[in-house]
Amino acid sequence: MAAPGMRSVGASVTLSADTGGTFTDLIVDTEGELHIFKALSTPADPTSGVLDAVELAAAAYGIETADLLGRADVFIHGTTRAINALLTGGTARTAFLTSEGHPDILLFREGGRANPFDFSQPYPEPFVPRSLTFEVPGRVAADGTIVRELDEGAVLEIIGRLAELEVEAVGVALLWSIINPEHERHVGEMLERHLPGTPFTLSHQLNPTLREYRRASSACIDASLKPLMADYLRTLERRLGCAGFRGELLIVTSQGGVITAEEAGRAPIHTINSGPSMAPVAGRKYAAAEGEVRAVIVADSGGTTFDVSLVRDGVIPRTRETWIGLPQLGHITGFPSVDVKSIGAGGGSVAWLDDGGLLHVGPRSAGANPGPACYGLGGQEPTFTDACLVLGYLDRDFFLGGAMSLDEAAARDAISRHIAEPLGLGVEEAAAAIVELATEEMVGAIEEITVHQGLDPRSTVLVGAGGAAGLNIVAIASRLGCPRILIPETGAALSASGALLSELTAEFAVTCFTSSLDFDRASVARAYATLQERCDAFFARFPAETVRTVDFSYEGRYPRQNWEIEVQLPSTADLAAPEPDVLVASFHDAHRRVFALADELAPVEFVSWRARARAQMRLRERRLARDVRSGPATRRRQIWLAGEGWAPASVVDFDALPEGDQVFGPAVAESSFTTVVLTRATVAWKSRSGNLVIDLETAA
């Protein structure tokens, strides 16, 4: 039997799971009808959290887990496994093989310093220590000429040392392998022959781009993740298979697409920002459904982090400056990624006092275990969620749709002992301070991608997503001056819902340097033909009805510029018969958008050429199923309002709210997985698309 309000599951379903630091979100798509399920994540064994969510879904449909998985043809998975391993030092023992005379590529990075005048900070350590860095004799020149043959005997000696040192992975990045990969390819063959079973990554295959540091860094990061991610993905496939899954497992990538589990195992670097990359994909779709085509801020507030991104003119933000850690102090991935900024502020963020008695919220999180004090799982420290419970924002008997009861007494005790008493405040005042401080930190993150980039937040619409977003999204919008907020119908699991909209993707690159002063049409045409062949081979895997798209771009610069910018090719450009005037004009336009100026009298240098192939197979309309809460449609309870104290507020069922009916603050809109707090001077209504629209301009 299916749970009340749920129809029977269809014969064919798609499952989408996103593993966060606190909760694992699962969306079941059955013939376009969506249901959301949440289970506590299991950091020590993330696969268990995924299976727990599937079991919850099966129980809600009144069927066995094996039956639900057996009907699933696709399982899409977003994971934080790779990024967590990098941040905690849980990657494999990795060696770095580089050209003789260049052992410090990873140490020097790109020569910058985070703070050039702070000499008290030690120089950051390289991703691979010098003790595991080996110089390979042999040299290829910038034009591909072999200046010195590869010394195979020396390479064999190095491989022997790798075995003695019990190296678990190897990254190989030789100079100018992007022009002539012969030496690098031969080193790979020798590793495969003489160090069998040890994974390795060749930079020219993974990331054929100019700049040796970025290629070397990406190769070493990728290699270091291979043992961990291969084991994780094998385990996930095996356990899903044992539980009844017979479909295809797809993994979300940092670029906002999906790849097969096999491809993710071969190049796990693509999974570093797996989960957060899908939030702007979904946010764009929901904003467009409401006719919002201007700048859209997508704020995804989960249990552990607050992720923000900016979608302008319908374009998903992408960056090539993706660092693990702080710029210049961390390690660059060398790959384009959806541009998402994350801070340690979420529902599980711990509130604490420093030695001077100053209040902080985060970045440390209580996570899923033990979780906030109100979870009753052993947590003793106060968190953002505890504060919201004390202030009346959360219904202690309706958390996760009533699947979990919250302990208000434990929340009050934790806030009292750790915050209120030391500061001489009442419990409610301390809880309000926690929420206010967390709000300010979130506002600061949004200002970095708006105000600091010349965009006025008052001209944007704010999309609030994640299970914790609604608790203070109105306060965030008020602080920024955003006139309108959208709470998507699947906002509580935005990344998982974004994965349902995603496409199978593949990215290819060819380095081919030329200048507009002496444009090499033949070489550019050959580069285009190579990219087209690779895209065609990618598309050959899919049935004829698949919607296929290829986005071509190039990296260009003005002479003597240090850095290139990536420029999307205009529709009038034909790389099979390239015209430099069209390419030059597109570069000037792109440079003007990025830097607000362009030197139209200067020549343009073209460095590399790229193609992004996208395959979309499931184009259908999806709507969230409505699981209406039993009981009166509107209730009332006391909530704490800043500057006022306790005030009566109406409580409405988000799912049961009729389309177009207005709700005036103070009020609380609740669903099984999200709670939206409406302060005074706000009005909210449900749109035709099923989203909650909150207006801060036309409020009565």
| pLDDT of 635 over the 60 cut | yes
From residue 584, give the alpha-carbon distance in Å to each of 298, 304, 515.
Answer: 33, 45, 10
Q: List the one residue out of 627, 387, 347, 382 whose CA is nearest residue 467.
A: 347
Q: Which residue has the higher pLDDT, 116 or 190?
A: 190
Structure token pair of residue 345:
């502020």
Domain 13-86+231-271 is classified in which CATH homologous superfamily? ATPase, nucleotide binding domain (3.30.420.40)
| pLDDT of 414 over the 90 cut | yes
The answer to whether the beta carbons of residues 411 and 390 sit under 8 Å apart is: yes
Strands 605-616 and 547-557: antiparallel
Q: What average pLDDT does the segment 414-439 reach?
A: 95
Q: What average pLDDT does the segment 253-271 reach?
A: 90
Give the pLDDT score at 11: 62
Q: List the one residue out of 341, 387, 330, 430 whose CA is nearest residue 112.
A: 330
| pLDDT of 17 over the 50 cut | yes
Q: What average pLDDT does the segment 558-579 reach?
A: 83
Instruction: Tell me how far apart the alpha carbons of residues 101 and 128 are, in angstroms, rounded to a whole number.
Output: 17
Query: Out of 132-136, 414-418, 592-596, which region has the weakest mean confidence (pLDDT)?
Result: 592-596
Determine the angle formed by the axes of helices 152-164 and 182-194, rounding to 10 degrees.
Answer: 40
| pLDDT of 627 over the 80 cut | no
Alpha helix ranges (H) inside 450-520 = 473-480, 494-500
| pLDDT of 700 over the 50 cut | no
Instruction: Tell me how far apart the alpha carbons of residues 481 and 502 are, in angstroms, rounded to a whole number.
Output: 32
Instruction: Tell me how far apart the alpha carbons of residues 692 and 675 are, in angstroms, rounded to a whole number.
Output: 11
Give the pLDDT score at 621: 54
* Contact residues for 110 (Cβ-Cβ < 8 A; gap 6+): 211, 213, 328, 332
Confidence of residue 697 (pLDDT cuts 50, 70, 90): low
Q: List the one residue out of 443, 379, 436 whose CA is nearest residue 410.
A: 379
Share of the chain above pLDDT 70, in %: 94
Instruction: Tell me how far apart the alpha carbons of residues 391 and 368 are, in angstroms, rounded to a whole number.
Output: 22
Give the count of beta carbons closer than 10 Å to the beta carbon of residue 166: 8
Q: What average pLDDT does the segment 555-576 reach?
A: 85
Point out which residues pair with 447 in neighbouring strands: none
The answer to whether the beta carbons of residues 608 and 556 sit under 8 Å apart is: no
Distance between first and last Cα of the chain: 45
Q: Residues, the chain, total?
A: 700
Point out which residues pair with 566 in neighbouring strands: 555
pTM for the whole thing? 0.84
pLDDT tens, position by position, 216-243: 999 999 999 999 999 999 999 999 999 9
The answer to whether the beta carbons of residues 23 and 674 sit under 8 Å apart is: no
**Count of helices and strands (H, E) across the chain:** 18, 35
- Determine the Cα angle at 698 with ends 694 and 700, to 5°: 100
Instruction: Tell me how far apart the alpha carbons of residues 348 and 364 are, in angstroms, rounded to a whole number.
Output: 8
| pLDDT of 198 over the 80 cut | yes
Give the pLDDT score at 698: 46
Confidence of residue 380 (pLDDT cuts 50, 70, 90): very high
Q: What average pLDDT does the segment 132-136 reach?
A: 97
Q: What average pLDDT does the segment 74-101 reach?
A: 90
Give the count of beta carbons closer than 10 Å to the beta carbon of residue 537: 12
| pLDDT of 617 over the 80 cut | no
Instruction: Tell me how far apart the alpha carbons of residues 550 and 434 are, in angstroms, rounded to a whole number.
Output: 47
Give the pLDDT score at 625: 56
Instruction: Tell me how far apart the alpha carbons of residues 11 and 358 are, in angstroms, rounded to a whole number.
Output: 56
DSSP secondary-structure letter at 570? Answer: P
The answer to whether the beta carbons of residues 473 and 678 sit under 8 Å apart is: no
DSSP secondary-structure letter at 144? Answer: S
Q: List the one residue out of 53, 10, 30 whose CA is nearest residue 500.
A: 30
Point out which residues pair with 684 in neighbouring strands: 663, 694
Q: What average pLDDT does the segment 182-210 reach?
A: 95
The answer to whether the beta carbons of residues 223 and 85 sit under 8 Å apart is: no
Virtual CA dihedral for 577, 580, 586, 588, nearest 10 degrees? 170
Give the pLDDT score at 87: 76
From residue 237, give the alpha-carbon distance in Å to each of 18, 230, 233, 247, 249.
Answer: 15, 11, 6, 10, 7
What residues does each domain of the chain span?
A: 13-86+231-271, 349-428, 504-616
Give the pLDDT score at 633: 53
| pLDDT of 452 over the 50 cut | yes
Structure token pair of residue 9:
């599951």
| pLDDT of 306 over the 70 cut | yes
Give the pLDDT score at 672: 79
Give the pLDDT score at 288: 86
pLDDT tens, position by position, 158-193: 999 999 999 999 999 999 999 999 999 999 999 999
Query: Out of 8-12, 388-392, 496-500, which region has the weakest mean confidence (pLDDT)?
Result: 8-12
Confidence of residue 12 (pLDDT cuts 50, 70, 90): confident
Q: List the one residue out of 206, 189, 193, 220 whose CA is nearest residue 103.
A: 220
| pLDDT of 624 over the 70 cut | no
| pLDDT of 601 over the 90 cut | yes
Q: What average pLDDT does the segment 515-524 reach?
A: 93
From residue 307, give the alpha-carbon distance in Å to each of 258, 350, 526.
Answer: 20, 17, 41
- Determine the Cα angle at 377 with ends 675 and 667, to 5°: 15
Q: List the one residue out of 393, 478, 412, 413 whose CA is nearest residue 439.
A: 478
Strands 667-670 and 331-332: unpaired
Give the pLDDT score at 518: 92
Q: List the one residue out of 436, 443, 478, 444 whose CA is nearest residue 458.
A: 478
Confidence of residue 689 (pLDDT cuts 50, 70, 90): confident
Please give the backbone phi and psi of residue 44, each rounded to the nearest 5 degrees, phi first.
-70, -25
Q: What average pLDDT does the segment 129-148 reach?
A: 95
pLDDT tens, position by position, 429-447: 999 999 999 999 999 999 9
| pLDDT of 289 over the 90 cut | no
Mean pLDDT of the chain: 88
Instruction: Tell me how far apart the alpha carbons of residues 635 and 612 are, in angstroms, rounded to a whole number.
Output: 51
Rg of the chain taking only CA atoms, in angstroms: 26
pLDDT tens, position by position, 643-674: 889 999 999 988 888 888 899 989 999 887 88
The residue written with tokens 């995924």 in the block is 50
Q: Spell out a b/e string for 634-671, using b for 16 or more CB atoms within 10 Å of the CB, else e.
A: eeeeebbbeeeeeeebbbbbbbbbeeeeebebbbbbbb
